Chains A and B, each alone.
Chain A
Amino acid sequence: MNRYRADLHVHTVLSPCGDLEMSPVNIVSIAARKGIDILGITDHNSTKHVALIKKLAEKEGIFVIGGAEVTTREEIHCLALFENNDSLVKFQQFLDAHLADVKNKPDIFGHQVVVNAEDIILEEEEKLLISATSKSLDEVQQFVHQLDGLFIPAHIDRPSYSMFSQLGFIPPDLKADALEISKQVSEEEMRSKHPELHDFTLIGCSDAHYPEQIGSRTSIFEMQHRSLSEIRKALAGEEGRKVWMKEVGSK
């Protein structure tokens, strides 16, 4: 078995709240410097920077799974992560079809730009990416799994846009591959406060919006090699694969 360091929740400059320095080139070089082996690219409701980052990251030996931080109808943020390009394309079509048609006002929410490897702006996304899709938590989960992706509700402890803030509880029949907790809380605290989480795997990610935040919280995957199916096994604790969180500040 091998150990891999993963940060599965990173925003780019495409997210309105993402720093302008979060260009694909910068993200990949910082991730490489910080020893990230597996990188999840998750802009709000858009996959449009995933392909370029994947290409750039390959040269650095970083495995990228991309998708989005999708907003459900209940305004719950969930990570949707895919390995193959076909699923990614289908998921982007899903977002295009179901994200609310509200225009971004950059002076209020920030710019939403797609750039190339030279940091030249290729496209300014007009739809406000932090609005919600019209699909429910269950519908999003089902679609992500249909596309063979990972479905991971994000920062479940946070006071807004989280499963706890929006629903008040974790649905007992929730079919999630894992749950992400934010940097504000340790796994130990979360588990002692919420014993109902015992059936779920918890992971930690940086939720980086600024360069210095990349890799500020990571999870370690112990598995055979880097692929989505191995990651899924590790999250489920199958066949000797496992995952654990690196606590903030720990080496």
Chain B
Amino acid sequence: MTAAEMVNKLDLQVFSGENGLDREVSGGYVSDLLSDVMGNADEGQVWITLQTHKNVMAIASLKELAAVILVNGHKPDEDAAAQSNEEDIPLLGTPLSAFDITGKLYELIHK
């Protein structure tokens, strides 16, 4: 599944990084601690978080993640969105909670 397909199926908002929507999604990781994501997320995963600042994109780029989904209706900081465009890593959003969007994504990936 590509990030674009995931956007359609989960009805996600695309804030930035559209050029990266062809990235392949291999799985997901849920955490709000950046150091935890640094240590434990794997390449190609979608990161689900409520953090909205620029460092999120630095970590996403370091770990070569497929996309980042901001939960609970959070919007990215301006410089985070700019960084996402630079790195071509989509920054996405949902009004759902981390629990709900994770459940839906898990079903999509593992069905």
Which of A's residues lie within 8 Å of B, judged by CB?
71, 73-75, 100, 102, 105, 108-109, 128, 131-132, 159-160
Contact = CB atoms under 8 A, between A and B. Distances in A.
Interface range, B side:
10 to 19
Contacts of B35: 71, 73, 75, 100, 131-132
Contact of B62 (A75, A105, A132): A105
Contacts of B33: 74-75, 132
Interface string B25-48: 000000001110011000000000
A132 B53 CA distance: 17
Interface of B: 33-35, 38-39, 53, 55, 58, 61-62
A105 B39 CA distance: 14
B39 A100 contact: yes
A75 B62 CA distance: 18
Nearest to A131: B35
A108 B61 contact: yes
Contacts of B62: 102, 105, 108-109
A102 B33 CA distance: 15
A75 B39 contact: no
A105 B33 CA distance: 19
11 contacts: A73-B35, A75-B33, A75-B35, A102-B62, A109-B58, A128-B38, A131-B34, A131-B35, A131-B38, A132-B35, A160-B55
Contact of A160 (B39, B53, B58, B61): B53
A71 B62 CA distance: 19
B53 A159 contact: yes
Contacts of A74: 33
A132 B31 CA distance: 14
A75 B34 contact: yes
Contacts of A109: 58, 62
A108 B34 CA distance: 15
A131 B36 CA distance: 9
A128 B107 CA distance: 35
A108 B58 contact: yes
Report the 10 A-B pairs with minimum CB-CB distance, sorted nearest first.
Answer: A132-B35, A131-B35, A102-B38, A100-B39, A131-B38, A108-B58, A160-B53, A108-B61, A100-B35, A75-B33
Nearest to A133: B35
B35 to A, nearest CB: 3
A100 B38 contact: yes
A132 B34 CA distance: 9
A131 B62 CA distance: 12
Contacts of A108: 58, 61-62
Contacts of B55: 160
A184 to B, nearest CB: 15
Contacts of A159: 53
Contacts of A132: 33-35
A75 B32 CA distance: 10
Contacts of B34: 75, 131-132
B59 to A, nearest CB: 9
A102 B53 contact: no
Contacts of B53: 159-160
